[in-house]
A and B are shown apart, each in its own frame.
Chain A
Amino acid sequence: MRGMKVTKSLKSFLTGVALAFAAGSLAIAVGWKMYADATATAATSAPTPGKQSIAKSLRALHGAAGLPAPTWARQTLQDLHPGTYADARLLAPDLVLASRGDGVCLVTRRGLSQCRDRFNLGHAWIAGDMIRQTDSVDAPFDVHIYGVALDTVDVIHVAKGDGTLVRIPVRNNVFRATLPDTEFDDLNRIDVATGTDVVSSTPAERFFPKLR
């Protein structure tokens, strides 16, 4: 008799705990959705008038290049700006491109994800980061450079301070490279090239500020 009472009490207790977890999870989900919607609304405004569409100038978004965007990328696109992204394509490992109005969204699995309505170096959008090879304060850095370029761009050149020139080919309007054992401080210049012609050039520090 006493055993049955204890079992019943335990069942009630566990039901209460489960209910609390369910209610808490629901509250977190609803709260987060409301917060995200409010933040997104606050950031929205009309597009800048008088701009050319960069989305139209990217052939990879108008054909069958690459593969359909995987779920992780579609989720990030929805997080950035809710929409359909019918043309979202995986164009390089862990790198997805999609149009959004006249602009374009770049989504990476490990790195930058953002939409833009203009490029930052002539006909190219240069992005990247510097991450240690292992999670140790003594580990060397790798620099990851990636981005988007118009149909006319063939290659991105990254000149290092030691005289090395890293050539990053553009395929399907995107590019991506890892410069091992490299820090932002080691980068000197970035060129955007068509064939053998450099069409845009800038000190690397503009995108990858030196720390020292």
Chain B
Amino acid sequence: MVPFSYTAVTNPNDAMERAARSAGVEYIAGGTDMLQLLQEGVRAPMELVDINGIGFDDVSVAVDGVRIGAMARLADVADDPTVRERFPAVAEALHESASPQVRNMASVGGNLLQRTRCLYFRDVTTPCNKREPGSGCSAWFGQNRINAVLGGSPDCFAAYPGDLAVALIAMDAEVMVSGPTGERTILVEKLHRDPSEAPHIETVLKPGDLITAIWIPLPAAGRRSHYLKVRDRATFEWALTSAAVSIGFDGERVLDVRVAVGGVGTRPWRLPHVEAMLIDRNLDRDLARAAGERAADGAESRGENAFKIPLLKKTVERALLRIAGLGAGDQP
């Protein structure tokens, strides 16, 4: 680790004021991704601003939605009765993230911003456009089993690794952001950028911006939801593929639907064309299979990650079957 300066703040304005001064100033909250990146030399901040003292760590219920403080820990949000009851896909995504120890530490705001697990991004001895712009992509000709099949290019096809963001997209959730220019909200769906022009710039956040909360609008609670995660081992592992599905039913008829997928895209990925296939139809086995078949439209494999395309189709199909109560003995 290179030396860095450290400041603990108790006021969000102090944090934003420091972070806006230089791109070398970064926030640290739970620290579970930051410490890995520091240890591996992937990040070399000049200063870390510890924002654990600023509050914003509770889950509060309003008439029109639920507000989850950005500093709330994954474990606490996963166990929150309101989240579990109203937004099961969010609770499932959190319960299946990381390990119990990491869930006790990591903040939900930081989780949305976690960096890719692409082997080369985390190996400073190799070229990587995301880590060192213009240096090239080692994964294109290298080990790319975990890399993305949606949204990539020869410059970068690192997969976004998170679960929570995928589930939140199916909830129409927003992040509440404070910054030097005031406060604004950003749909979680719009938070992450395509890597096409600048793989190293991953979100639309600007220096000094601070995520203060996640907002889940109440209508999402009127839909059934499910998060299905497929991985190399049963627990404590990132998604190879995942699907978050949220459906408002009238009997078997789909009135309203969101489908988002993870582990496969360069950012959390929504599938509007799959949603369009489902709307106003009765969700049965045939429709689930047909919709799953289209889940990987536009996907391109590169060597070792080709298995993700058929796996993604089956992941979406199974998530739809489960939410419709048609899962073969494996209903959530």
Judge: A and B partners, yes or no.
Answer: no
**Chain B residues with a Cβ under 8 A of chain A:** none
